Amino acid sequence: MLKVLKKIIQYPRLTIGYPAKPLDTEFITGRPCIETAMCTMCGECLRRCPSGAIVADKQSMQMSIQLDKCIFCSLCVDVCPAKAVTMSKEFELAYLGNEVAQKSSKLFGRSLQIREVDAGSCNGCDYEVNGLNNPFNDIERFGIHFVASPRHADMLLVTGTATRNMEQALLKTYEATPEPKLVVAVGACACSGGIFQDSYATKNGIESIIPVNVYVPGCPPRPQAILYGILKALERVK
């Protein structure tokens, strides 16, 4: 008994309070941001962007970043001669899909079963998804569990750009998941194809194969960003 009490005192609760409590962003690298007042429209960031995420609007004379394509490499920060691009601390970047109506959390109650699908990723996003189950993030405190079969799932958490070899497997997994179901695209590859877009061996994001409810940009997105996307799909966060 004394040993148990000693460990309780020695090792306090490690699970974070996010999203009820704000996350400490001191060591977080978030989305890139372009300060339009400082931007000279030189186009250097546009030419150097490895995923083609930066676009120039000649009418408004402004540069913008497409988050679904951005791999958060910060190269734009390094090459900008005007120092107009910075990496922010913002990581809650998940957004809803336009084609598929959002389903209410009332359909699933207080529990949610997730089947993760690797549709041809580099495993970077999969490592971050695994982090959701550790004691630090503890996704099960929300009543959310990962299951081994899509037939038991309410949500598909898809990583990767949907390679040709995984296209049929992804479609079959979606069809095997009972209605009502949700789909969350995790990472730039799943959102848009990422750096592999327009390749002969991949699709430009999984929405070309199955409908998507929520997109979580990043390369890879951190566990809290993925958690934010899942809770957004359940309408548990604004």
CATH number at residue 160: 3.40.50.12280
- 3-state class of 174 per DSSP? helix
Among residues 67, 87, 107, which one ends one of the domains? 87
Backbone angles phi, psi at 235, to 5 degrees: 60, 30
Give the residue ranges of DSSP H helices in the chain. Answer: 2-10, 44-48, 75-79, 124-130, 164-176, 188-192, 223-233
- Partners of 183 in the beta sheet? 156
Q: What pTM did the predictor assign?
A: 0.89
One domain, residues 79 and 133: no
Same domain, 61 and 178: no
Residue 227 structural domain: 95-233
pLDDT digit string (tens) for 103-157? 555 677 678 999 999 999 999 999 999 999 998 999 999 999 999 999 999 999 9
